[in-house]
Amino acid sequence: MERITTIADLRRCVDAARNDGRSIGLVPTMGALHVGHISLVERCVAENDITVVSVFVNPTQFNDKRDLELYPRTPDEDCALLEKAGCTYVFTPSVEEVYPEPDTRVFDLGGVAEVMEGRYRPGHFNGVAQIVSKLFAMVSPHRAYFGEKDFQQIAVIRAMVAQLQLDVEIVPCPIVREADGLALSSRNTRLTAQQRINAPRIADTLFKSLTFAQSHTVDETIRYVVDTINDVPEMRVEYYEIVDGITLQPVAQWSDSNYIVGCITVYNGEVRLIDNIAYCRP
């Protein structure tokens, strides 16, 4: 595995691979890698000749300065994990390398970016579109891999790819969970011991809501999830929305779509956790 810090070096490596007819896969990350990220890297390695993993805590997608400061950074551990997973190039640029001047681009990402995270984290998805579009321009990958824990992010990236008419396949990868159900997240390391004990209640409630939903309306199911999680000490649901899996617009009834997903954000103490569950899939 080679560690690259400049865009010029990155371009040299990926251009050489492409000219040799090799396929290129990209896994964009913000580091603090865990088994969930590694599952994306392993899939990328299996499906492409070259795997590029970017490790970059992107400042433009943080609308909360403190969240950016507290975001975990573990570069040496990340590189060791990536080497073991078969990554070809790890790209770890500085902020100045990626943003030599402020990125003033404003993306029109449509309805998928306006709901849920779009409402609670204004500017977040524009920042994601800025960095991911830059990475796509630098690497020109054939495929790019994203985890389904960030369900809305995948829809937003697809919208950005369509808007810019980019030739890249977006590959969604399933959520990886701890044995107790907690969705893996770099933010889990910031939980106190007691918050970590309580955290699986989020996934547990989502899974139980699948049964609950069979005999209750959409609104009742939302109420059930929100009330159950809000009863856990230190937990506060920011939103729970049950939406169409493609448009991400709320559904009123279970018969409204054949692809329905529940998306949740919960503050566990001051740590913001997200998760989601599919009630039905096409």
Residues with a catalytic annotation lie at: 37
Count of residues touching ligand PAF (by CB under 6 A): 10
Q: CB of 9: closest distance to ligand PAF in angstroms? A: 20
Q: Is 117 a binder of ligand PAF (CB under 6 A)? A: no
Least distance to ligand PAF, CB of residue 75, Å? 15
In the bound state with ligand PAF, the residue whose beta carbon lies nearer, of 28 and 209, is: 28
Residues forming beta bridges with residue 274, ordered by sequence position? 265
Tokens of 155: 């829809």
Q: Which of 17, 87, 128, 229 binds ligand PAF (CB under 6 A)?
A: 128
**Considering only residues 48, 51, 58, 195, which one is a binding residue for ligand PAF as defined by CB under 6 A?**
58
Cα distances (angstroms) measured from residue 58 to each of 92, 126, 238:
11, 12, 23
Answer yes or no whether residue 60 interacts with ligand PAF by CB under 6 A. Answer: no
Q: Counting contacts by CB under 6 A, is residue 126 touching ligand PAF?
A: no
Q: Which of 57, 97, 99 is nearest to 78 (CA)?
A: 57
Q: Does 61 bind ligand PAF (CB under 6 A)?
A: yes
Q: Are 102 and 59 in contact (CB under 8 A)?
A: no
**Which residue in 7, 13, 14, 28 binds ligand PAF (CB under 6 A)?**
28
**Residue 132 near ligand PAF by CB under 6 A:** yes
Taking CA atoms, 43 is separated from 61, 91, 147, 174, in Å, by 26, 18, 11, 11
> Is residue 26 a contact residue for ligand PAF (CB under 6 A)?
no
What are the beta bridge partners of residue 275?
Answer: 264
- Residue closer to ligand PAF by CB (options 135, 222) is 135
Q: Which of residues 139-168 bind ligand PAF (CB under 6 A)?
A: 150, 153
By CB under 6 A, name the binding residues for ligand PAF.
28-30, 58, 61, 128, 131-132, 150, 153
